[in-house]
Structure 1
Amino acid sequence: MNYTPFLFCLFLISNFFHAQTLHIQVSGIRNSSGNIRLAFYSNSKSFDDEKPLFIRKVAKKEVLNSSLKMVYNDLKAGVYGIAILDDENSNDKMDYGWVLPKEGFGFSDYYHTNMKRPKFESFDFALKDEIKIVEIKVRYL
């Protein structure tokens, strides 16, 4: 007996019922120029070394009422932390004045008010078989 169709259906069903869906809501965006750069980290070492697991960029043309929403269904279960950059000139890096950043930044479910970098544990979250909503408020200095 050929079990291939049965196994394939079982695979599809298990992925449907055990999928992670991540909704990200970014608020406080001051304009629609450039893009939002999302860096996904998996632990404090990757964050401290500034080596994200992966980066996603979203054009800000969809900004509505200073907010932008995105949905990702392709992430594996695990621990993540998201750091964003409001890359207003689309040059893929934070631009600085004399000392302070000129562009906005933010972190998953954490509004950073200190002058030092936050710890990964301040903005990490677990993603498992669920629909997870993460809110990020952009801060400009």
Structure 2
Amino acid sequence: TGSAGRTRGWAASTAKAGAAAAAFLLLGGVSPSGQLEVNVEDLRSNNGLLHICVTRDAEHFPDCENDPAATRESFRVAETRSVRFANLPSGDYAIAILHDENGNSRLDRFAGIPREGIGFSRNPRFSFGPPRFSSARFRLSPHGDVQSIRMRYFL
């Protein structure tokens, strides 16, 4: 009976620990995660790369520089027009996309005007400089979201 008693005691303590962990996750502020699908539209060529930045921080928008929490991915344009990001915590996000046509990993400009395509979540209007985070912001729910982003070219 000693062995059976220890087993029942272990099972009971494990069940209590599991319930405590579940309560911690629910009450401890951990956000449920969702899937984000990003569809890229109106690309002018199949050349180069798409650099996608997904951030929750307005201070690091649109380039995600030095944002340790940002999600960044690069893809060959010829291979994809749609990208999925899984297990992102629920909350507010903004997306910036660069169509790096020559593959040099930066936005080329002429007289300050982008020579390559750029696009943002929610497709906000902008002319001089990128849009504000608030214009591109969307809410990702645990059910997920789809953002269809139209690329814009100025030159």
Given that 2:53 and 2:62 are in contact with CA atoms closer than 8 Å, whether structure 1 keeps it comes out as no
Q: 2:48 aligns with which of 34, 49, 52?
A: 34
Structure 2, unmatched stretches of 5+, are: 1-9, 23-31
2:147 is paired with a residue whose SS is strand
Q: Secondary structure at the match of 1:62?
A: coil
Give the letter aligned to residue 126 of structure 2.
Answer: T
Q: How far is the alpha carbon of 1:126 from its aligned partner? A: 1.4
Aligned residues: CA RMSD: 2.6
- Is the 1:33–1:61 contact (alpha carbons within 8 Å) kept by the matching residues of 2? yes
CA contact (8 A) 2:34 2:144 kept: yes
Q: 1:62 offset after TM fit, Å?
A: 2.2
Q: Is the 8 A contact 1:111 1:136 kept in 2?
A: no
Q: What is the match of residue 28 of structure 2?
A: none
Q: What are the superposed Cα offsets for residues 51-86 of structure 1, whole Å, 9 maximum, x if unpaired?
A: 3423111111225xxxx1111113122221011100
Q: Which runs of 5+ in 1 are unaligned?
A: 12-17
- Identical counterparts, % of pairs: 26
- The alignment's TM-score, normalised by the length of structure 2, stands at 0.71
1:116 matches 2:133: no
Which residue of the partner structure matches residue 14 of structure 1?
none
- Kept in 2, the 8 Å contact 1:83–1:106? The answer is yes
* Contact persistence 2:92–2:139 (CA under 8 A): yes
Would you say the 8 A contact 1:111–1:137 is kept in 2?
no
Answering whether residue 139 of structure 2 is matched by residue 126 of structure 1, we say yes
Q: Runs (4+) of structure 1 moved beyond 2 Å?
A: 1-4, 48-52
